[in-house]
Each structure stands twice: as C-alpha cells, then as structure tokens.
C-alpha cells in the first residue's frame, strides 16, 4: 500500500522533487460572501461562478507516497507554489478550476441542472420493470419534465453490480421507440435527451432517433464510440469505472480513491480529445458505486472538487445507490430518497453542475430551497 502523508502547513521543500499534484478547491462560498471575497481578490470563481473558492488542498503523488497538503488560503498557496518552482503549473490548474463552463444543448448555466432517469429495463436496481413498456416510459419521461427535469436520460441496459449484458438488438428495441415517442409527443418543444449506453450501435441509432447527449458509463472506452461522438458533435458524459458490471466490485482496490479515480478518468478525457471531441463538450462523472465500495464512494464525494481541474462540466449520479442503505437502515431503493437528496446537495455545494436522479420533484424542490439559502449568505 502507498503511504498517505498529511501536512496542514505549506512549508518549503514539502513537495518531493518530481511529484505530480492536483488541486481541490476549498473554502467554497456562495451569495454575498462569495461576491465580497471575489471583489477583494481573496477568492476565485468556481467553474465561472456564482460560487467562489478561497483556499485549495494540494494532493501530490511521489514515487512512494500520496501527500495531502493544506488546505491553505489562495494567496498563501500561490506564494508557496512560486517558492517551490511550480507556480506556472499551479496557475494553470487554478485557471481550469475557475474557467466558465459551456452552455450544454441550450440549457441554463446559472443553476444546477437535474437529469431525470428513465430506465427502460426489467432489472435496474431500484425501478426495474416499472417503465419497461414503451408507452409507460414515454409517460414517465413527460412526468419528469413536468416535475422540472432539464434532461431525460434514457437507458436500456442495467449496469448495476452483477448485471448481465443485454444484446445490442434488445437494447435498441427498448430505447429507440422511447426516444422517438418523446420526440413525437413533444413536437417543437424538444426536451433535451441523453442516451445511457456503452454501445456504439446504440449511440448512433439513438442520435438518429433524436438524442442530444451521449452518457457512457465506460467513458467512451470503445474507439467506435469516440468516433460517433466526434462526428455528431454532441456532448458526451464520461464516467469513471473499472471492469464490467459483472466484475467491477472486485476492482475496488485503491491507494487513495479520489486521486486514482481522477487519474484514470483523465485518460478517458485525453482519449476523447485525441478523437476530436473538444473539452467543452465533455462532461465528467466520478462513477459513484462503480468499482467503489461505500467508504471509497465517501472519499470521492468528499473531494468532488478535484473534477473541476479538468475544466469540464461535472455530473454526479448517486441516486438511490446502495451506499445510502449501507449508511442508514438497509432501505430498499425507493426508500432512499432522503439520502439521495443529501448527496445531491453535498455535490452542488462543491460546484457540481448536473445531478442525475430518479426523484426529480423532490430534487428540484431541495435545490430551490438550497439556492434560496446559498444566495443569501
């Protein structure tokens, strides 16, 4: 196991020679407090605002250890980085964390977005079979839109731990009629639709049927998927996972989960860029519950801010996940709404721009109340 070394104070020579490092925005502020510190130059915008961050934690990897340094106020951290000879790289990372994120598919960019889940499956972990019929799935999609969903995420294959793969033909049979049905009923209103799939053939068919966004749990691992997204010029959601749904629980071995998640997801981002997908069309997802146990999920959730270092939009999907029951009273999926809301709000507090949820009405209400409080701090 790699040693985890922790130091609160930033001192000269603390960072080993040749160590790579990442920044976690800390001291995150909203509302009037954020505006005051931004005006005074004591904070920087988080992903373009309206939130601001006034400190950073530094996570560094050396040959034999992972170093957790700080957090430290921005001015002190910048001065320390300059003294260590890493000021230029430090500034580049701060710029990526601060940069504004693009408008996605014409959606609002001044508030967190809610992605409503439409599972057209008989075996999803919390609502399998509820909307397996095309008509039921289309009705459910419009119910989610009425509740305030910004994006509809249509999926035809369960990727829960242990799930068996679905033949491509069956996945197509499930999802394409639903997308077409939503488009017919919506007419000119055109809601934003994402297709939750890891198969290039399903991606292409879904885009032809009217999908706007690709959501791939493998992070576009298939070169064919990357080519389709690049050619279609659509946004793509790249999630972190290891292995396959049937085997991924056996892959939950990390020295320090947040950093390794980031490093592995970064390779997916770089592969996508090399295929011609610009970073302003990439959305990153830490993959809560995918090749991670409860403790590892919590470690990632505590440092979601690491993902802002990509300069990409960040999505969080932890709705009704097993970790909620593990931390509570072993409730079944549909009784995990309070825990799902807690995770969504914790993510939004750290600047997450999209939350993927089953329970749209409850999430929209929670976000509106949270925004009312955050805007008045």
Residues tagged active-site: 321, 356
Cα(239)–Cα(268) distance, integer angstroms:
9
Cα(112)–Cα(314) distance, integer angstroms:
10
Closest of 10, 28, 11, 20 to residue 304, by C-alpha? 28
- Which two structure tokens, joined as six digits, stand for 267? 């390779």
What own/partner pairs with CB < 8 Å and gap ≥ 24 does 106-112 have?
106/192, 107/150, 107/151, 107/192, 108/150, 109/48, 109/353, 110/50, 111/367, 111/371, 112/348, 112/352, 112/353, 112/354, 112/355, 112/367
- 318 by Cβ neighbours in 10 Å (0-12 / 13-18 / 19+) ranks as buried
């Amino acid at each position: 196991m790699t040693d985890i070394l922790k130091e609160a104070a930033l001192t000269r020579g603390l960072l080993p020679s040749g160590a790579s490092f990442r920044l976690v925005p800390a001291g995150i502020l909203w509302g009037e407090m954020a505006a005051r510190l931004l005006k005074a130059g004591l904070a920087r915008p988080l992903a373009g605002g309206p939130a601001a961050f006034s400190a950073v934690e530094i996570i560094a990897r050396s040959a034999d250890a992972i170093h957790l340094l700080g957090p430290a106020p921005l001015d002190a951290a910048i001065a320390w980085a300059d003294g260590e000879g890493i000021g230029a790289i430090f500034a580049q990372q701060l710029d990526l964390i601060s940069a504004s994120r693009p408008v996605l598919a014409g959606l609002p960019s001044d508030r967190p977005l809610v992605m409503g889940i439409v599972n057209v499956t008989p075996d999803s972990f919390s609502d399998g079979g509820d909307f397996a019929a095309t008509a039921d799935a289309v009705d459910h999609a419009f119910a989610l839109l009425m509740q305030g969903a910004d994006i509809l995420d249509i999926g035809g294959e369960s990727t829960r731990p242990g799930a068996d793969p679905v033949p491509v033909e069956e996945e197509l049979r499930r999802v394409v009629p639903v997308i077409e049905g939503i488009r017919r009923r919506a007419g000119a209103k055109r809601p934003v639709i994402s297709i939750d799939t890891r198969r290039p053939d399903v991606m292409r068919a879904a885009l032809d049927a009217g999908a706007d966004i690709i959501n791939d749990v493998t992070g576009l691992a298939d070169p064919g998927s990357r080519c389709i997204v690049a050619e279609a010029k659509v946004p793509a959601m790249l999630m972190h996972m290891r292995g396959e749904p049937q085997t991924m629980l056996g892959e939950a071995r990390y020295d320090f989960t947040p950093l390794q998640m980031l490093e592995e997801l970064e390779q997916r981002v770089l592969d996508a860029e090399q295929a011609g997908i610009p970073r302003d069309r990439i959305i990153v997802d830490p993959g809560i519950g995918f090749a991670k146990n409860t403790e590892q999920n919590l470690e990632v959730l505590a440092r979601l801010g690491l993902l802002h270092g990509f300069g990409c939009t960040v999505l969080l999907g932890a709705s009704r996940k097993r970790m909620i029951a593990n931390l509570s009273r072993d409730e079944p999926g549909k009784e995990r709404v309070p825990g799902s809301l807690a995770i969504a709000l914790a993510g939004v507090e750290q600047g997450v721009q999209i939350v993927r949820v089953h329970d749209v009405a409850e999430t929209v209400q929670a976000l509106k109340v949270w925004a009312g409080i955050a805007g008045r701090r």
